[in-house]
């Protein structure tokens, strides 16, 4: 059976607070654990009023304390924003708090606008250019210390927190293959290079001490509800958010609307529907057909699902209904 996981951005819905958002993430992680999801990951974004997971390691600790067995981690930490030592200490601490449950997914993008990225890490250009070196340095800081190693991550060293590389282009696919690391592609918002990236990763993969064969996780956005109409209604929040990003309008996560045609222009509609073309939206029957097609196309080893739904109760219902689709996955694969 192909594992299902969840990617959460701790959305801050219109009319709510960050405290409510973080409480919702904890509830969602608990439901994911109850329904058998493998991982619950959180993503690093900055300067966005609709997302509460900027201090990603802190929020991971929050959902870890609310759960018992589900794997927790980052999808991802944007490494150019940080020194490898800081991340090693943070995730070494998480690994000590939640032994055997922590993943460290790494991305190369800033996760924000350039001005905010500059405020996060003054030498941003150097950080992006040194990404491969920083990944290797982070592996060493989380691994076994070598003789005369000058810098130790405490906590962190000997924790062996599993590292994943995340990407939305071909760059990280090549690096993940070269380093022999598991690879997650952000097809939930960047679909164009999905198949090429997977092909490059699998064809160029070099076995490593942590992984002897390629392992691909692919992302989808989704909204599953008892009917197609209800699921599509809830998904208008995500559609509005993508339009707002292109308009450079920052605000809390929008409430759903009954009519998107009055909100977006024809060109905006075309762009958003292209960006979200792998989204799984509909009743369980509709969602099952879409997931089967996606799995056939990608042959992914694992699915990670982002559920950008404004109402927390509807979001939890979607978690439940997605989990019910898992029974067909082994046959579909």
115 part of a folded domain: yes
326 lies in the same domain as 232: yes
For the stretch 34-70, pLDDT in tens is 999 999 999 999 989 999 999 999 999 999 999 999 9
pLDDT at 125: 58
Q: What is the CATH number of the domain that holds 156?
A: 3.20.20.30
Q: Which of 115, 138, 161 is the last residue of a domain?
A: 161
23 lies in the same domain as 129: yes
29 lies in the same domain as 120: yes
Confidence of residue 126 (pLDDT cuts 50, 70, 90): low
21 lies in the same domain as 145: yes
176 part of a folded domain: no
pTM for the structure as a whole? 0.94
* CB neighbour list of residue 161: distance below 8 Å, 6 or more residues apart: 91, 92, 94, 95, 102, 103, 104, 142
SS (H, E, C) the chain: CCCEEEEECCECECCCCHHHHHHHHHHHHHHHHHCCCCEEEECCCCCCCCECCCCHHHHHHHHHHHCCCCEEEEEEEEHHHCCHHHHHHHHHHHHHHCCCCEEEEEECCCCCCHHHHHHHCCCHHHHHHCHHHHHHHHHHHHCCCCCCCCCCCCCCCCCCCCEEEEECCCHHHHHHHHHCCCEEECCCCCCCCHHHHHHHHHHHCCCCCCCCCCCEEEEEEEEECCCHHHHHHHHHHHHHHHHHHHHCCCCCECCCCCCCCCCCCHHHHHHHHHHCCCCEEECHHHHHHHHHHHHHHHCCCEEEEECCCCCHHHHHHHHHHHHHHHHHHHHHC
Residue of 78, 83, 172 whose CA lies nearest to 117: 78
| Count of positions (residues) in the chain | 333
28 lies in the same domain as 110: yes
For the stretch 260-308, pLDDT in tens is 999 999 999 999 999 999 999 999 999 999 999 999 999 999 999 999 9
Residue 15 belongs to what domain range? 1-161
**Cα→Cα distances 308→6, 170, 298, 330, Å:** 11, 26, 23, 26
142 lies in the same domain as 31: yes
Confidence of residue 182 (pLDDT cuts 50, 70, 90): very high
Confidence of residue 116 (pLDDT cuts 50, 70, 90): confident
145 lies in the same domain as 228: no
31 lies in the same domain as 142: yes
pLDDT exceeds cutoff 80 at 118: no
286 part of a folded domain: yes
237 part of a folded domain: yes
Q: Which of 161, 184, 202 is the last residue of a domain?
A: 161
The domain tally of the chain equals 2
Confidence of residue 331 (pLDDT cuts 50, 70, 90): very low
Q: Which of 161, 180, 205 is the last residue of a domain?
A: 161
149 - beta bridge partners? Answer: none
133 part of a folded domain: yes
For the stretch 209-263, pLDDT in tens is 999 999 999 999 999 999 999 999 999 999 999 999 999 999 999 999 999 999 9
154 lies in the same domain as 282: no
pLDDT at 271: 97
Residue of 34, 103, 104, 100 whose CA lies nearest to 67: 34
pLDDT at 109: 80
pLDDT exceeds cutoff 80 at 123: no
pLDDT at 127: 57
187 part of a folded domain: no
């Amino acid at each position: 059976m192909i594992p299902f996981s969840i990617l959460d951005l701790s959305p801050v819905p219109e009319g709510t607070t960050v405290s409510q958002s973080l409480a919702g993430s904890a509830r969602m992680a608990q439901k994911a654990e109850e329904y058998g999801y493998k991982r619950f990951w959180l993503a690093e974004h900055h300067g966005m009023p609709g997302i509460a997971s900027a201090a990603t390691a802190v929020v991971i600790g929050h959902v870890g304390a609310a759960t018992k067995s589900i794997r927790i981690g980052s999808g991802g930490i944007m490494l150019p924003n940080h020194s490898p030592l800081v991340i090693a200490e943070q995730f070494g601490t998480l690994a000590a708090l939640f032994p055997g449950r922590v993943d460290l997914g790494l991305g190369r993008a800033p996760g924000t606008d350039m001005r905010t990225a500059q405020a996060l890490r003054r030498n941003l250009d150097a950080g992006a250019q040194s990404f491969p070196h920083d990944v290797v340095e982070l592996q060493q800081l989380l691994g076994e210390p070598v003789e005369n190693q000058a810098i130790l991550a405490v906590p962190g060293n000997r924790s062996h927190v599993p590292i994943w590389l995340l990407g939305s282009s071909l760059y990280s696919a090549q690096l993940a293959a070269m380093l022999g690391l598991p690879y997650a592609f952000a097809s939930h918002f960047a679909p164009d290079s999905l198949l090429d990236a997977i092909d490059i990763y699998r064809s160029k993969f070099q076995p490593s001490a942590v992984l002897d064969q390629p392992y691909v996780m692919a992302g989808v956005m989704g909204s599953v509800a008892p009917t197609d109409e209800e699921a599509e209604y809830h998904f208008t929040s995500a559609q509005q958010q993508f339009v707002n990003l292109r308009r450079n309008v920052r605000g809390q996560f929008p409430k759903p609307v009954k009519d998107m045609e009055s909100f977006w222009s024809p060109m905006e509609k075309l762009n958003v529907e292209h960006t979200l073309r792998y989204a799984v939206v509909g009743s369980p029957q509709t969602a099952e057909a879409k997931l089967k097609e996606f799995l056939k196309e990608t042959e992914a080893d694992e699915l990670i699902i982002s559920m950008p739904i404004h109402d927390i109760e509807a979001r939890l219902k979607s978690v439940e209904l997605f989990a019910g689709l898992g029974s067909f996955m082994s046959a579909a694969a």
